[in-house]
Structure 1
Amino acid sequence: MRNIEVVIVEDDSRIADLHRRFCERVEGFSVVGIAQGLEDAKAMIELCKPDLILLDLYFPEGTSLDLLRDIRTQGIETDVILITATKEMGPLKDALRGGVFDYIIKPVILDRFTACLQKFREYFARLHTDGRVEQRDVDSLRNLNPSLSLSEPPAGDLPKGIDALTLRKVRAEFEGEGRDLENGASAEEIGERIGASRSTARRYLEYLVSIGVIFPDVAYGSVGRPERRYFRH
């Protein structure tokens, strides 16, 4: 597969160069342009037609969220990773709704950055595979792309008995790097981790099953008793 071409949009030249060096350390990526302003970014995106944009959020002329919306409105086939120092929830929501592949908070940690690009490389390869699409392919892409795997109905659209805050706690048990999820988790285990009863945990787990975030399976213990366990896609 050809290299993934990247444009970096960052107004601080030192940070832009750091991200370039980080990016070029990951096999399969090449930086084809660096823009230090939003107008320059528009021109460079049109000229280079990159596969991926590493996009800062704040610029002297405003935020890059309008640029993100323009990219989506115009149907430009590029993905975006937003990199920002802000820790406010509002921009994160806007970015996820705008379809960013990932959202990285500055200062960028090399391991986190590298893991993100490696995941994007796999996502990109799967998107460019010919053939029919099966449900497992869709589920796999949702797991690779946080903007898909983290999507959920607004709080007002959640069914009765499902609280948004508790739902996020349960969901967090199946997301993030470094979690030992090879053997899945039971309702009892999830309940203990989030401080809820087994029945409450099961209700939330079954809801996540219904929207395709996780899937259940039956495991048999040492005495042969079946146990319903939950796994992420």
Structure 2
Amino acid sequence: MRLIQVLIIEDNERILKLHRLFLEKVDGFELVGIAKSLKEAEETIAVLQPDLILLDLFFPDGHGMSFLKHMRMQDINFDVILITADKDVNSLQDALRNGAFDYIVKPVVFDRFKESLEKYKTFKTGISAKQTIEQKDADSIFMSAQQVEYTDDDVPKGIDPLTLKKVKDTLVEYGERGICAQETGKLIGASRITARRYLEYLVSGGFISADITYGSVGRPERKYFYKPEKN
């Protein structure tokens, strides 16, 4: 497989050099371009057509999320990993809705950077090797892409580490039985909406899984299941 071509979009010279250095240490990737503004980025993407973009959110000439939405409308194919100081949970949700592969919060450490790129490489390799897929292929590709481990120190704005721990402990206790947002809320002393926000955050980090089940009266219900680590 050819090297994965990467474009870095970052206006801070020091951070740009750091990300470039990090990228050079990860096998399978090639830096094909750098853009220091969103205007320059749009022109560069049109010419280079990179596989992967490492994108900041804050620029003097606009916001990275608006730029991403704009580029998606241009029907240009590329994947994106957001690298930003923005810890707002709404930004994380917006990133997911707009097809971001990963969301890395600055300051970036090399291990987290490498983990993200390695997962992307696995994802890209899996997609490139298939013309048609079975369900097991889709499961393998998506699970490898989505399982990024979060620590309590990395939680975004709006996620309280103590409440998050309560939710995790509850999920571990229920294990394979699973638990819904309403029941989780009762056990941790929070509303169903709050509990669901924490549960969905854990789903996005790969700590738990979610599925639709049907109760005794046939009403669909989203339940959450703890996923123990495999040795």
Q: Which runs of 5+ in 2 are unaligned?
A: 148-179, 184-191, 210-220
Aligned to 1:8: 8
Question: In the aligned structure 2, how far is the partner of 1:31 from the partner of 1:167?
Answer: 39
Aligned to 1:165: 194
Give the count of matched residue pairs. Answer: 179
Note the C-alpha offset of 1:139. Answer: 1.8
Question: In the aligned structure 1, how far is the partner of 2:118 from the partner of 2:24?
Answer: 12
8 A Cα contact 1:9 1:53, kept in partner: yes
Note the C-alpha offset of 1:172. Answer: 6.2
Amino acid of the structure 2 residue aligned with 1:77 = N
Q: Within 5 Å, which residues of 2 pair with 1:217-232?
A: none
Q: Within 5 Å, which residues of 2 pair with 1:130-145?
A: 130-145=130-145
Question: In the aligned structure 1, how far is the partner of 2:130 from the partner of 2:146?
Answer: 23
Aligned to 1:117: 117
Note the C-alpha offset of 1:168. Answer: 5.0
Aligned to 2:70: 70
Question: In the aligned structure 1, how far is the partner of 2:146 from the partner of 2:16?
Answer: 24
1:8-64 Cα distance to aligned partner (Å, 9 max, x none): 000011111110110111000010101000000001111110000000000011211
TM-score, normalising length: structure 1: 0.67
Aligned to 2:27: 27
Amino acid of the structure 2 residue aligned with 1:51 = D
Q: Give the 3 Å change call, closer, same or farther, for CA 5–171 of structure 1 in structure 2.
A: same
Question: In the aligned structure 2, how far is the partner of 1:43 from the partner of 1:171?
Answer: 36
Aligned to 1:80: 80
Question: In the aligned structure 1, how far is the partner of 2:203 from the partner of 2:93?
Answer: 20
Q: 1:207 aligns with which of 222, 228, 231?
A: 222
Q: Which runs of 5+ in 1 are unaligned?
A: 148-158, 185-205, 215-228
SS in structure 2 of the partner of residue 145 of structure 1: helix
Aligned to 1:156: none
8 A Cα contact 1:81 1:102, kept in partner: yes
8 A Cα contact 1:6 1:32, kept in partner: yes
Q: Identity of aligned pairs, percent?
A: 41
8 A Cα contact 2:87 2:105, kept in partner: yes
Q: Give the 3 Å change call, closer, same or farther, for CA 170–66 of structure 1 in structure 2.
A: closer
Amino acid of the structure 2 residue aligned with 1:105 = V
Note the C-alpha offset of 1:6. Answer: 0.2
SS in structure 1 of the partner of residue 21 of structure 2: helix
* RMSD between superposed Cα atoms in Å: 3.0
8 A Cα contact 2:39 2:61, kept in partner: no
SS in structure 1 of the partner of residue 222 of structure 2: helix
